[in-house]
Structure 1
Amino acid sequence: MNRRSYRLEEIAHLVKGEYFGEKDFQIFNLASLEKAHNHHICFVNGEKYLAQAEVSQAGVYIVTESLKQLLGSKKNFIVVNNPYLAFATLTHIFDKKISQRGIESTAKIHPSAIIADDAYIGHHVVIGENCVVGNNTIIQANVFLDDNVEVGKDGFIDANVSITGEAKLKDRVRIHTNTSIGSEGFGFAPYQGKWHRIAQLGSVLIGNDVRIGSNCCIDRGALDDTILEDGVIIDNLVQIAHNVQIGQNTAIAANCAIAGSVRIGKNCIIGGGSAVAGHLNIADNVTLTGMSMVTKNISEAGTYSSGIGLFENSHWKRTVVRLRQLADVPLTQLTKRLDHMQAQLESLESTLKLRK
């Protein structure tokens, strides 16, 4: 059962910070600077938020040492090196925990399945043969675990999730509503005007501390497994095709599509609405800005972009016309024009120097 409040001194200890002010001051919850009341705690993550902090009604402020000096009108502080990280830690303290344990009467579990005593299995959950559910894992209503699926300890599987293809999930994996793990990959062989289905014989392997949002599809491999390594985080509405491998701590924002057999390195950031064509490799520490389209390998770390940014509509139309006109000019002809212009500029510069 969640506590209703914490003292200032306790909160400082939890975030490994130093408190200033009334150590027994009671804190009931987190809040934004704009919405905070006297017994709320807020974080100030930079000088650009000082004006908001000055007029905020919060009772406690999480700040750096330098920011504390600029908020002389306030009384209670927790000083840390990284206020945003401290805020992230406190969200777990004030989060409403699911306290239920055990198996609901409407759940259907095969006798061969192994369910930890302190796990929770919600209403109308179906768990197949030889499945494993680890300690302290929460499985919400209407979840389907097909035969031979394994879920590690401290996991959270939200309502209406389907996990098939003998997928194996390690510890502290969070999967949100309506997501499909281990569904059949999109594999077909064309022959004589027809598509011939290829049975998908691989699985899905998901590492520790992976988070997958709502309405995502992670397909199982055709032969090799689809792999999400430790610490991968995936937003809502993302498609991961068969045989994809995603390296540790890579983040993928909403509405991305990763085609089959792609290899994405560690610590990458894939911006929202991006797409990666099949059988490509992306190096470690690559950032793709939103709406990027990757059609060739990326072998070096860095930030990459594609597409045309937003214009006012009439400006966009003019730009498209110019691009079409440019496409109609042969490259050799365009190069000659540029060389001629450069020669004219150099000649003009020489004339001006002589006149001086």
Structure 2
Amino acid sequence: MISAIKSSPNFKWWVFSTIAIGTFLSVVDHGSVLVALPNIERHFGSDLPSVQWIVVGYALAISVLILPMGRLGDIIGRKQVYIGGMVIFVIAAALAGVSPNLGSLIAAKIFQGVGSAMVQSAGIAMVIESFPGTERGKALGTHLSVVGAGAIAGPAIGGLLVSAFEWRSVFFANVPVGIFTIFISMLILPLAKPEPPAEEEARQRFDWGGAVFSGLALLGFLLVVGNGDRLGWTSGLIISGAIATVLAGAAFVWWELRFPTPMLDLSLFKRKLVSFGVAAGWFSFLGSSASRFMMPFYMQRVLELSPREVGLLLIPPAMCMVLLGPISGRLSDRFGSRGLTVGGLTVSAVAWVIMATSLTEFS
């Protein structure tokens, strides 16, 4: 049966579906954890600046490693990286569920971020590789719908689990689904591994310097931004951290411009479309991420809603991603992405203004 699937003209959609399961799982995990954060804070008797590292540590691991893991997939094969990432994801979820204290929970989430970086980098690369250029917009749009579906299910599932059981169930729920994903991936995903001589040569060209410098720059940035209010923006530690962050970023740029096979080809940013597109995506993600992190605390602390109610209220924005993802992908293939991007960012900006005004008045 597996051989028949691999020889089928629809095999690309089998690959897509297999990767979509892992994508869905990682997004569900993130959304459900956000809803559980206030309960985790109360359980450990902690505070918001400490609890935020559950999310920040996870995101930091992904940010630091997603480019190196993409390069690693080129070297040893994307299937191997994807499955290895899922194994790490499942183990880390189990460790998070049995964490005896906040520190071990944060460590488990950082470890899980390593797995997510492997899954995300290898997964999206396999999707792009499996579809011809004329269908990639449709594939990526459908992939966005999977992300949206996970964003819908995550808060809802998290709210139900926390209300019915406790916050640990949010992490344990990942284990059986993750094991199933590993099994399916081993059967379905195509094996693409370079020949031994090419593999050895690629290993020698792996951009370890770029990985280290980018990691230091991102870590420094997060530490400075996360502790600026608490320590004071003019304190010696914050100023020193900011200087170190700038130096690490400058070292990353210097290294990437000189390394023969860079982790990030900076020459791409000479193209205005790439530069402005990355900048727009960065600012958009910055705003939406801050909102997703703070809303569960606002709803449970200020509005005094239950975790289940919070989960349900976080569904509408994710529902839009599910409905509009495939449509925008097809429109992008046909008309280009510029108009859709500008229109989407404009609508988002208006929505943020309305929400900020409404929340201020309600408070």
TM-score by length of 2: 0.20
Name the larger-Rg structure. 1
In terms of fraction of residues, the more helix-rich structure is 2
The higher relative CO (CA closer than 8 Å, separation ≥ 6) is in 2
